[in-house]
Structure 1
Amino acid sequence: MSSPVSGPSRFDWDQKSEAWIYRRTEETLFNVLETELEKLCGTPIKLG
């Protein structure tokens, strides 16, 4: 993913948790997107 907020990140599919995980922080793609969209929009965002 290339984000205007946090820059480039590589997410890997984790079979066990069935989620895309950023290995450096162990954060899920959904969590990263929710956090960054909230910063940009100024309102809480809940995906999925």
Structure 2
Amino acid sequence: MVEYALMLAIIVGIGWLIYNQTQLSDKINSVFNNAGNLMNDAASKSAKPPTT
């Protein structure tokens, strides 16, 4: 059981280092902001009645 805890700690530590070194938080925020903007654009275009 201790071995699994140690392996998990190593994996989490490596993941945390990769996360911090590549500034993934900024990139993740950018992805969600872009997705939100696309959803808002699509909603505004679909809410308009068609012009004839």
TM-score, normalising length from structure 2? 0.34
TM-score, normalising length from structure 1? 0.36
Q: Which has the larger radius of gyration?
A: 2
Structure with the bigger percentage of helix: 2
Instruction: Select the structure with the greater relative contact order (CA < 8 A; seq sep ≥ 6).
Output: 1
Structure with the bigger percentage of strand: 1
